[in-house]
Each structure stands twice: as structure tokens, then as C-alpha cells.
Amino acid sequence: MMERFYNPVFVKELKLRFRSFKSFSGLMFYLAVICIFIAGFLLITTEFTGKGFFKPEISFMMFAVLTILQMALILFITPSLTAGAISSEREKQTLNILLTTTQSSTQIIIGKLLSSVAFLVLMLIAGLPLYSLVFLFGGVSPSQLISIFLFYLLTVVAIGSIGVMFSTITKRTIVAMISTYGTIIFLGGITAFFFFLSMAFNQMGNAVGTSTSYMAYFWASINPGALMLTLTSSSMGDALVQVSGVELPVWISYLITYSLIIVICLTIAIKKLRANMKSNR
Amino acid sequence: MIEIRDLTKRYGSFTALDHLNLSLEEGVVFGFVGANGAGKSTTFSILATLLSPTSGDAIINGKSVIKEPKEVRKQIGYMPDFFGVYDQLKVDEYLDFYGASYGIGAAERKVLIPQLLELVNLTNKRNEYVDLLSRGMKQRLCLARALIHDPKVLILDEPASGLDPRARVEMRDILRNLKSMGKTILISSHILPELAEMCDEIGVIDNGKLIAHGNVASIQAQLQGEKRIVVKATDCLKEVREFLEEDPLISSIDVMDNRLEIAFNYRGTDDDQVALLKKAILANLPIYALSEEEKDLEDVFMAITKGADNQ
């Protein structure tokens, strides 16, 4: 039974990943950033005395900013792990040999994706003790933390799929990397810009400003930052409902959009892996 | 065992393979010779299910490379002309990964890997990192990898390129061993003598067309026409030269004083050559060696293709 689910590429990738110094340094960098942030935050709120009150509201604010920061770090790190998945094999001239084995294209792509996701999950778990500091001061519920982590996971898989897809369809890792970061800038930055643009456009048309703007809602719903804001504080979600006029919670649209991204990107990657063969299986 | 039918591959207006037909029996060692870019690697890539032909088909052990690529992959072991290895992976882990990639169970892999390492003389390198191995060792490891699922057919693209003479000999010994195990082996090379020693049949490809196919001796004769022979003498090069000039079958004599050698083109048969040698010995010439110079196939090729263009 174990053999059935055994994915050779997954096992090999994990082995290679944990043997490289890059993974260790990446993990260290990630934890260092979070440490510095938390230490800095605590120092500033206690005015560098190390003493004083730490109110639940402040703890909550730290939680909110930490959540956004962690999302930004994930968005920053994921492409570097996945955008080389296939193209680096091509550059190292190991891909042809891999493609003559009896592994299916699906198996290879999924193995590559899962190994990167596994590393990112490890990263998130490694950061959990730091993250849990917020519980010390209250203001945040565990269920909130769990839902945030599930959405981290969804985002990691989606961005990972985008990286693997670009890695499969482009010849070189550097091109795949740039394309993936480009997509992230679009999802994280340009959508926010479009959101404000469509909001302004909507308000121009209606002096009252209460009409429905599906456009504004759409841009907000695919932005990871916006999602994290609505997840951390429900007032943010209410505000969005008010300005856009769409009742559907952002997380549902986000879930649907990102699931679609995963499915589409992986399908393209699987189809294009053996691009020189007409039948792809 | 292998049946290539009207195989054609075009890249835009360039035809890499032009209606190639070839049929090979089981257990044959087939040498594929041709200049660089003649279409050897393209043919091998198609057989290895890495490339779809524009038209035609290839059947390996009853399975079509177009219709059943996955079945074909079970039948073949492929070694590309250029390949890389994963750094940070040890020799036995490298084989273990590919074994798993072919769906071989963990217990079976454990038994198989030492046997394969033994076969390619890498047993003592078992725990070394793959990228630290020498080129010859990597080549042998890649061969072991190609054998891990016990394929019936081996497709080896330039297995001896870039190897030093010692590594070449080792590679040849391994291939001889595999032949005795009954594998059908396809090897490509651009150097004819390299193949001549170990192949049963040879096919010559030029501009995507198979221009000759047969056993080694006939192909060699067909391609080379005149032999280039070198005699070595201990002394009296002048006398040897005069003696050679008398023979009507000899032309283009070159005397290499510094090495005490004379090279010349010879049109005669093997029997003529025996007569020549006998005559030389009777004439009391201090000749101690007479040998055929091995020609690089590309030289011969240049000559043949040039001749074809002129007609």
C-alpha cells in the first residue's frame, strides 16, 4: 500500500533540499525576520524599558501585522523554491533521463510541487512558536490562527503551481523566476491598485457611493493581503461589504479563485512537461 | 525487436530524418555511425520517447513509440549523449531514485543496486557523491541506471565520447558483458573503429538518410575504399621507399623520417597485402611492422559527401 503512494521525485527532492545550505539559510532568514519584527514591536510598545502594559488591542495589532508580514515572506520565498522545479532539471541535463522513466508527467509535477510545499510548511511550523507569542497577551483566538494557516497553505500551493507551470513552459530558470515574481506583484500589488481605481471610478458615477461594484470586490478578493486583513479583523470584512456592496465573504471568492489557479497551472504543467511528445501521459 | 518505419522528423524546413527504415533482430549490437548532425541523436530521442516523429513510427518489442510510449519506456534503457547528475546525491541513492522511478519495490532495489554497481565496477564508490565522480565513472553509473529496470533494449548515444582510453576500454568490456546477457544494444558514434570492435551490424546515416546497413567488414570496405597502411622500419628508409614505389597498387607515399615510418595508400586486397609483405621480407628490408591506419569516420565521410556533391 505504501508503494502505491510512494513518489520518487518527492522523496528525492526532499533529500536534496535538506542537504543544501540554501534551505538552511532560507529558514534562518525567515525566522530572523520574524524575530526582529516581534522584538522590535515589543520594544517600541514598551518604549524600550522592557516594562509596562501590553494591552490585548496592541497584541492584536501585532498579530495582524505579523500575519501580513508572514504572507509577504511566503510570497517572496515560494517562487525561489518552485520556479526552478523543471527548468533546473533541464539546465542540469537530468530532465531527459527523468522523462524516459515510467513515471507519469502528473507524478513528476506533483512530486516537485509537494516537495516545495512541504518545505514551506516546515517553515511555517518553525515560525509557529514565535507566532504563538501573541497568545501570551490575548486578543486572538486559536480558530482564527488555524484558518489563517489554512489560507497560507492554499496560497503556497497556488503560488507554487504558478512557479512550476512557468518552470515547465520556459526553458530557463531565470525566466520562470521573473515570470512568477511578476505574477505575485500582480496579485499582491497591482490588484490593490486596481481595487482603489475601480472604487474611485464607482464613486465618480454615484454621488452617494453605495452602489455595487463587482469590479472592486473582485480585485480585493484575489489579493492575499486583503484576504489576511479581512481574516484578522471582521470589521475590515464589513467595510469591504459596505464599499463594494457584495455580501459574499472574501475568503470564499479567494478559495475559488486560487483553487482554479492551482488546477489550471498544474494542468498546463502536466500537459507541457513532455512537450516534444504528442501524447502526454 | 526494433522496427523503424518511414521515420521522418522535420524542424520547420529542415529535415533531420528522411524516411528512415531499419529493422533489428533481438540480441544484436547495432552501431549507428554518422557525422555530427546526421540524425543519430534525433533517431535515438524518438526511440526513447522523448520526441514525436513528424511521420512514420518505430516499434520496440511490439510497442509503438507513438501509441504506447509508457510501454516502450519499460522496454528501453536510454543513455543520452549529454547528461547531468544531481549533486548532493550519493551513488546508491542515485540508483535508488531511478529504480523507484521505474516502480521497482524498495526490497528489490536493495538487492539490485549492489549487483548493478558490481557490473559497472563502482562497488567501492557506493557512498560517494555522484558529482564528485570522474566522467568515466559517471558514464558507467548512467549505464547502470539505464539497466535498473532490466530493459530488453539499450539505447546508448555516444557512450564513449569524452572518455580517456582506459575508460573507453572499461566501457567496451561492460558492453560486451551486456551483449552476452542477450540485450539488444544500439550505440551511436562518429568514429567507426570505436564501433567496429563490438558491433554485429552497422548503419551509416547521412543527412537523415540511412546510406548503408550491414555487417562491419562490408561497411568498412564500402566506406574506406583505399586503405592507408603504415610500415615501420628500423633503418634504410630510402630503400624501403624505393621498394614501395615499384608496386603499382601503392600511391601517395609519405616518409616520416623522425619516426622511421612510411605511410601509403593501398588499393590491393588482403591477399595482395600478404604478397607484398612476403616480397618485402625476401628483399631483406628491415621492416618490423605493417599495419592499417585507423581512419576517423568523419574524414571518410567528408570524402564521400564531397564526392556525392560533385556528381
Domain spans in chain A, listed from the N-terminal domain onward? 2-273
Q: Where are the domains of chain B?
A: 2-223, 225-310
Does residue B73 belong to the interface with chain A, where contact is any CB pair within 8 Å?
yes
- Comparing C-alpha atoms, which of A258, A266, A85, A227 is closest to residue A155? A258
Pairing status of strand B227-233 against strand B287-292? antiparallel
Does residue A280 belong to the interface with chain B, where contact is any CB pair within 8 Å?
no
pLDDT tens digits, one per residue of B279-305: 888 888 888 888 877 665 556 555 555
Q: Under DSSP, is residue A34 helix (H, G, I), strand (E, B) or coil?
A: helix
Listed in sequence order, the residues at least 6 apart from A61 whose beta carbon sits closer than 8 Å to its beta carbon are none
CA distance B239 to B224: 29
Overall residue count recorded for chain B in this entry: 311
Query: pLDDT tens, position by position, for chain B (311 residues)?
Result: 899 999 999 988 888 898 999 999 898 999 888 877 888 889 999 999 998 999 999 999 999 999 998 999 999 999 998 888 988 899 999 999 999 999 898 999 999 999 999 988 899 999 999 989 988 889 889 999 999 999 999 999 988 877 888 888 888 888 888 889 889 999 988 766 677 777 888 888 888 888 878 877 676 666 666 777 888 888 777 888 888 888 888 877 888 877 788 888 887 778 888 888 888 888 888 888 888 776 655 565 555 555 444 33
Q: What share of chain A is helix, strand, coil (3-state, %, to 5)?
A: 80, 0, 20
CB A81 within 8 A of CB A160: yes
CA distance B57 to B23: 12
Nearest to B50 among A3, A19, A96 (CB): A96
Note whether A6 contacts B100, CB cutoff 8 Å.
Answer: yes
Q: Please give the ipTM for the structure prediction.
A: 0.84
> What number of other Cβ atoms are within 10 A of residue A240's Cβ?
21
* Chain B residue numbers touching A99 (CB-CB < 8 A): 49-50
Q: Which fold would CATH assign to domain B2-223?
A: Rossmann fold (3.40.50)
CB A126 within 8 A of CB A27: yes
> What number of other Cβ atoms are within 10 A of residue A62's Cβ?
21
**Closest alpha carbon within chain B to A3:** B105
Note whether A20 contacts B149, CB cutoff 8 Å.
Answer: no
Q: What is the pTM of this model?
A: 0.81
Nearest to A278 among B52, B74, B86 (CB): B52
pLDDT tens digits, one per residue of A154-192: 999 999 999 999 999 998 999 999 999 999 999 988 988
- Comparing C-alpha atoms, which of B239, B235, B243 is closest to residue B286? B235
Note whether B84 contacts A92, CB cutoff 8 Å.
Answer: yes
* Chain A residue numbers touching B70 (CB-CB < 8 A): 102, 104, 281
* Chain A residue numbers touching B69 (CB-CB < 8 A): 277, 279, 281
CA distance B113 to A61: 57
Q: What share of chain B is helix, strand, coil (3-state, %, to 5)?
A: 40, 30, 30
CATH of B225-310, one of 3.30.70.100, 3.10.20.30, 3.40.630.10, 3.30.70.1400: 3.30.70.100
Does residue A49 belong to the interface with chain B, where contact is any CB pair within 8 Å?
no
Note whether B48 contacts A9, CB cutoff 8 Å.
Answer: no
